[in-house]
Structure 1
């Protein structure tokens, strides 16, 4: 039998700025956790897709993607509509200000006001895959999202 536990997740911050100039605003009690992040070029940002957190969205298990793809299970997509609306983005780190709790980033596909759940440093040795396979409908997508 699968566990039916629930978990209490507390945001560490929020996405702020404009769509072309985003930053993470980190809560004061979590600012010490930013120490050393500025030595990395990229990080993984785990965020709550709050626009799709309603129960009706969370019950969706398959979607008809907006691009040329077949009906697909949400676990085989990057759709924001899913049982647990978690977003994960690899973003470039432009600057880190520990005192103000600000991390300026590039490549984040979240909106201002989005809750930030966690930040993890990007380690190529652990986070990169040398040989991958994708379905035909995604094969023409670019090889790299960020430089």
Structure 2
């Protein structure tokens, strides 16, 4: 099995008032020219559930109310996976280029989750015009913006 080294470039900071990505000082120059992008893709680590047991879970029993009885890890956004890597598209509210802080509207991470990388969201590479999803989740919102008002609590079995 091949091993890789991944370095943390920063952390997610969540408090009552705001959600931030705080970069390590040596990575602040990488923010150059990020202004103008309304959204970014944040690659982060599910560190709160990174343990040997969680990494061995490859199937879950009906995680969503309308889902199949058994779902493989690769078919869900669960933190329990062979490599607990997460990808979330987020809206950029503000960038402090001097302090290396990106203020975002929301991320499904926990406070102090390590950030592995950031990439600009570009419709020419990231947007799919007509994506297909299974019937059991076809009623879910069709965009990040619509997701804010969706009753997600009614979808999960956990």
2:90 maps to 1:97? no
Kindly report the root-mean-square deviation, in angstroms, between the aligned alpha carbons of the 2 structures.
Answer: 1.3
Q: Which residue of 2 aligns with 1:30?
A: 27
The farther-off stretch of 13-22 and 72-81 is 13-22
1:133-144 equivalent positions in 2, closer than 5 A = 133-144=132-143
The farther-off stretch of 120-129 and 11-20 is 11-20
Q: Which residue of 2 aligns with 1:14?
A: 11
For structure 2, list consecutive stretches of 5 or more residues without a partner in the other structure: 147-158
Q: Distance in 2 between matches of 1:38 and 1:106?
A: 16
Q: Distance in 1 between matches of 2:50 and 2:85?
A: 9
The runs of at least 4 consecutive aligned structure 1 residues that moved more than 2 Å come to: none
Q: Distance in 2 between matches of 1:62 and 1:131?
A: 28
For structure 1, list consecutive stretches of 5 or more residues without a partner in the other structure: none
Q: Which residue of 2 aligns with 1:126?
A: 125
Shift of 1:30: 0.2
SS at match of 2:30: helix
Matched length? 144
Q: Distance in 2 between matches of 1:114 and 1:19?
A: 16
SS at match of 1:37: coil
State whether residues 107 and 146 of structure 1, in contact with CA within 8 Å, keep that contact through their aligned partners in structure 2. Answer: no
Once the two structures are superposed, residues 51-100 of structure 1 have per-residue CA deviations (whole angstroms, 9 ceiling, x without a partner) of 11101000011112432112100101111110000110000000111110
- Residues 115, 19 of structure 1: alpha-carbon distance in 2 compared, 3 angstrom cutoff: farther
Shift of 1:17: 2.9
